[in-house]
């Protein structure tokens, strides 16, 4: 939360008990959740992303889920369930860019996620594949199959400059890709950050 007007009550709790609290922490969120309730006829509350990018509203039907990168969750209606999601495949967890633990958001309700840079959405048909640098995967539907494979070709590995692994996303389902992963942004500005000279 960045700012809010009068008429909004704020209440922080460890909703869901110890198990849910630890799950949220492993998924990159706080142990505690804050609930904002509008008690006036009208009020304003503003949430902002942690880095340059987009805030994406995700309407979820009852029982419908979305899998998002760690730290993507910003806020949601009270009815939306936030929990950790484990990658099922060893390779996807080790080399998938975000590790084994992701965030799973389940409806009903609208969730808001933050995505670094620009957002590109693709609707993959059954069996349709797209290969992606793992850090660029922001979010996908649970029907999408996610795997990671090593880049082929010795010259690609040695001189390609694109990393050793690519993610393969196979439909059916929607995927959201981001143009500026935080790790890329950090790497780009690192040379310009002053360091202490010895």
Cα–Cα separations (whole angstroms), residue 137 to 12, 81, 98, 176, 177: 31, 21, 9, 7, 5
| Count of domains observed in the chain | 2
Contacts of residue 22, Cβ cutoff 8 Å, sequence gap at least 6: 31
The answer on 139 and 156 residing in a single domain is yes
**Whole domain around residue 104: which residue ranges?**
47-192
> What's the confidence (pLDDT) of residue 94?
47
> What's the confidence (pLDDT) of residue 184?
78
> What's the confidence (pLDDT) of residue 96?
46
- Domain presence at residue 197: no
The answer on 51 and 34 residing in a single domain is no
The answer on 80 and 39 residing in a single domain is no
**pTM for the structure as a whole:** 0.76
The answer on 33 and 75 residing in a single domain is no
- Domain presence at residue 79: yes
The answer on 86 and 139 residing in a single domain is yes
Cα–Cα distance between 120 and 177 in angstroms, integer? 5
- Domain presence at residue 112: yes
Spell out, as residue ranges, where the chain has pLDDT lower than 50: 90-97, 154, 156-161, 198
The answer on 169 and 95 residing in a single domain is yes
Cα–Cα distance between 177 and 37 in angstroms, integer? 32
Task: Give the domain CATH number at 142.
Answer: 3.60.160.10
- The tens digit of pLDDT for each residue in 70-122 reads 889 999 999 999 888 876 654 444 444 455 578 999 999 999 999 999 999 99
The angle at the Cα of 176, spanning 168 to 95, to the nearest 5 degrees, equals 40
Torsion over CA: 48, 51, 54, 57 (sign) = negative
């Amino acid at each position: 939360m960045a700012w809010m007007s009068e008429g909004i009550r704020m209440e922080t709790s460890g909703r869901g008990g110890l198990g849910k609290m630890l799950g949220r922490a492993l998924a990159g969120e706080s142990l505690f959740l804050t609930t904002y309730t509008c008690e006036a006829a009208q009020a304003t509350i503003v949430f902002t992303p942690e880095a340059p990018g987009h805030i994406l509203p995700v309407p979820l039907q009852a029982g419908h889920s979305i899998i998002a990168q760690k730290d993507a969750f910003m806020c949601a209606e009270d009815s939306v369930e936030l929990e950790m999601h484990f990658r099922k495949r060893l390779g996807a967890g080790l080399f998938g860019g975000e590790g084994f633990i992701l965030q799973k958001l389940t409806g009903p309700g609208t969730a808001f996620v933050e995505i670094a840079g620009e957002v590109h959405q693709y609707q993959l048909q059954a069996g349709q594949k797209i290969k992606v640098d793992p850090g660029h995967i922001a979010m996908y539907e649970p029907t999408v199959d996610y795997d990671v494979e090593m880049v082929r070709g010795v010259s690609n590995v040695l001189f390609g400059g694109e990393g050793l692994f690519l993610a393969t996303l196979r439909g059916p389902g929607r995927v959201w890709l981001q143009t500026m992963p935080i790790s890329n942004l950090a790497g780009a500005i690192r040379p310009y950050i002053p360091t202490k000279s010895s």
